[in-house]
A and B are shown apart, each in its own frame.
Chain A
Amino acid sequence: MAPQRAADAPQTIAHLLSAKEIVIACGPGGVGKTTTAAAVGAMAAAEHGGRVLVLTVDPARRLADALGLKGIGNQEVRISDEVFRRAGVAPRGELWAAMLDSKQSWDDLVRLHAPDDATREKILANPLYQNISGRFVQSHDYIAMERLYEIHSEGTYDLIVVDTPPTRNALDFLDAPQRLADFFSSRLLRWLIAPYRSRLVNAATKPFYTVADRILGTQFLADISEFFILFQSMYEGFVKRSEAVTRLLSDRRTTFMVVSTLEATPLREAEFFSAELIARRLHLGAIVLNKVLPDYLRDSATARLAQHMADRFDTLGEGLTDDPVLAARVLTEVAESFLHFGIVARREAEEQNELVGAPDILVTVPFFDADIYDMEGLIRLGQQVWD
């Protein structure tokens, strides 16, 4: 028996989105997460109206491809109504898109929190800062959520659809604000930068610095210390901010949409992710399963028929074509191809049946015979997901 649902629990993505301000699309890589996020955003703009923003935080520039936009960046860009019209849709609202520029966002954050101009310039010039903000992947996770918070608090958009980065661990971005807060309030941090602040090293801590010097080199240790001393001046702002970001993720206005395919590996990850969302009391609004093969491939009577065709290929096509030899070969290929795809379709249907902890809204999207690279495709996908 299906679990008891609240009478007004949303049954479709359309319904779900009408009650939310933030939708976070998450899940394993390679399942069409970015495209699904863009499609859902496009549908919301077209059907619900208002201002809708699709924020992609994937370092690979896929959303721009799908929206036919070259070079969208940190600044939000409006997708023109003309793009919708060419896809045969008259949008009721506006669709905007932005791509997370990690480095730019970090710089903005420093500008926001730095107590004075001198500190700001020093931080921006610190080699360690430049590496953290520009080169290393983990900083994407935090800044993505930070940027979401920033945009949401400006109140410009009725709905923000976020496409999360393909993290090593799908949960990294959820933990990032808390990790950052922990990091800045760590005792070890104070310990590490103490000698540079006081120029005083006592007998108890001296061995530590000697070893740290040997491993890291004096200049690097000095850079680290400078970085943290400077960042300490922004400590309170940062911690408050990351707490606010964490709150926003668990807010009633925020929901999560897990995207996957029915292939075993991504589906396992999506399952794990769904369970984690529930464990953290975050709102798992929907699961979207992409690239689902058509039902007829699983039909057992048709499979028997295909087997029969494969066995009788030599006589089956007699008189139907101008080349009996080729007809026999074609029929064999056709029958075997059906049986091949049937194996995949049945395996995937089983996977879907075994999906545990699924939310009320579980949407399957059929395998499209062409790739999605424009608004028309996004709308076509969006309509499958929508209601």
Chain B
Amino acid sequence: MPPAAPDLLQLKLVFVTGKGGVGKTTVAAALAQLGAEHGKHVLACEVDAKGDLAGLFEAAPTEFVPREIAPGISSMSMDTEASLREYLKLHLRIPVVGRIGPLAKAFDFVATAAPGVREILTVGKLCYEVRERHYDLVVVDAPASGHIVGQLAAPQAINDLVKVGLIRSQTDWMLDILSDARRTGLVVVTTPEEMPVNETLELTARVREETTVQTSAVVVNRVLPELFGQREEEVFEQLREPAAVSVLSERAGGPVAPVLEAARLAVTLRRTGAGHLQRLQAGLPAALPVLLLPELFTRTHGLRTTHQMAQALGEELGY
């Protein structure tokens, strides 16, 4: 029996990752949209600020300070320096505001020395938003699969390095949030292709071994529709016989061979994809839900496709 659909909307913090180019931003936007449609106050955060997330809501590019980009959805882009300033203001209570300048510079320097500090400022800000309950759901358009483990493991890495001090007490509560499967989850996005599937299998294993974060679901994006069943395929082959093609061309008023050829290509692509999908499902832990989102065949990506994807995601999640 396939595992039950995860209740992603019950989580407080969802990281969406995946190999570059598989559509992780699209899925993050769809999840944010779905959350908003279910009455959640959502924060959507772009970590690799390329402005794509805001673009999917047809809004202007996001900044560090969250701004509402759609009903119920606020969006921000991560900026580790701004995050540091906020952190110093909130936690260090440095008496002289003027001091923050040089101190931030020094801290930034240390962040370069121990690059995990930069990661922790990102994860820290996200965990902070969760802890302070400013939003019902924080959706993170997270770094690609090559980087996400470093990011999620940063609090633990820092914890191992720093034994006492303010940072140590900070990483402790972050780890509490990240390790809590009822609050935090990771969604890995892939496509039904060779390399994305390999990377997804590798990534989910690494996340299990190297981080304390629970993988909530794997989302397979751009799944092509099944054109034919077996019986229909036989009929299709009959229609591709040269004699049939010339009759069809005559009746349709033009050469139909390319149209049939395109269908052949679509069937091949679908079949190749189905093989990878099978491999994915076989390689993942049985309890990990795999959700399928369709290829939309649209001209552009914007509000309309975001809504369509949110609907498709909602159906997969059983909402």
Contact = CB atoms under 8 A, between A and B. Distances in A.
A266 interface: yes
Interface stretch (B132-140, B230-238, B310-318): B230-238
B113 interface: yes
Contacts of A87: none
A166 B144 contact: yes
Interface string A31-65: 11011000000000000000000000011111001
Contacts of B187: none
Contact of B146 (A166, A305, A326): A166
Interface string A309-331: 10010011100111100110111
Contact of B163 (A217, A299, A333): A217
A320 B21 contact: no
Nearest to A186: B109
| Interface-central residue, B144, B195, B255, B272, by most chain A CB under 10 Å | B195
B194 A337 contact: no
Given A266-B21, A299-B258, A220 B163 contact: yes
Interface in B259-293: 259-263, 265-266, 268-269, 272, 276
A163 B166 CA distance: 40
B235 A131 contact: no
A152 to B, nearest CB: 24
Contacts of A220: 161-163, 165, 167
B168 A211 contact: no
A115 interface: no
Main secondary structure of the interface of A (DSSP, over half): helix
A265 B21 contact: yes
A261 B232 CA distance: 33
A338 interface: yes
Interface in B143-178: 143-147, 150, 153, 157, 160-168
Taking residues whose C-beta sits less than 8 angstroms from the other chain, chain A's interface range is 35 or more
Given A131-B161, A320-B248, A337-B263, A214 B166 contact: yes
A273 interface: no
Most chain A CB within 10 A, of B20, B239, B244, is at B20
A267 B260 CA distance: 30
A223 B113 CA distance: 11
B272 A371 contact: yes
B92 A214 contact: yes
A137 B227 contact: no
Given A317-B239, A334-B236, A131 B116 contact: yes
Nearest to B156: A135
A308 interface: yes
Interface string A169-183: 100000000010001
Contacts of A223: 161
Given A208-B106, A341-B297, A217 B162 contact: yes
A276 B150 CA distance: 27
Interface stretch (B6-14, B32-40, B60-68, B196-204): B196-204
A317 B248 contact: yes
Contact of A132 (B115, B193, B194, B231): B115
B165 A343 contact: no
Interface of A: 28-32, 34-35, 58-62, 65, 127-128, 131-132, 135-139, 165-166, 168-169, 179, 183, 186, 188-189, 192, 207-208, 211-220, 223-224, 227-228, 261, 263-266, 269, 294, 296-297, 299, 301-302, 304-306, 308-309, 312, 315-317, 320-323, 326-327, 329-331, 333-335, 337-338, 340-344, 347, 367, 369-373
17 contacts: A29-B146, A30-B21, A60-B19, A60-B202, A166-B146, A169-B48, A207-B99, A208-B103, A215-B107, A220-B167, A261-B21, A265-B52, A309-B256, A320-B248, A338-B259, A369-B265, A369-B272
Question: Nearest 8 CB-CB pairs, A to B?
Answer: A29-B20, A30-B21, A217-B165, A371-B194, A340-B297, A136-B115, A334-B263, A30-B20
Given A138-B115, A338-B258, 20 more contacts: A28-B21, A30-B20, A31-B21, A60-B19, A65-B194, A128-B114, A136-B116, A166-B146, A183-B113, A212-B106, A216-B167, A217-B165, A218-B165, A264-B300, A305-B252, A322-B238, A323-B235, A341-B266, A367-B265, A371-B272
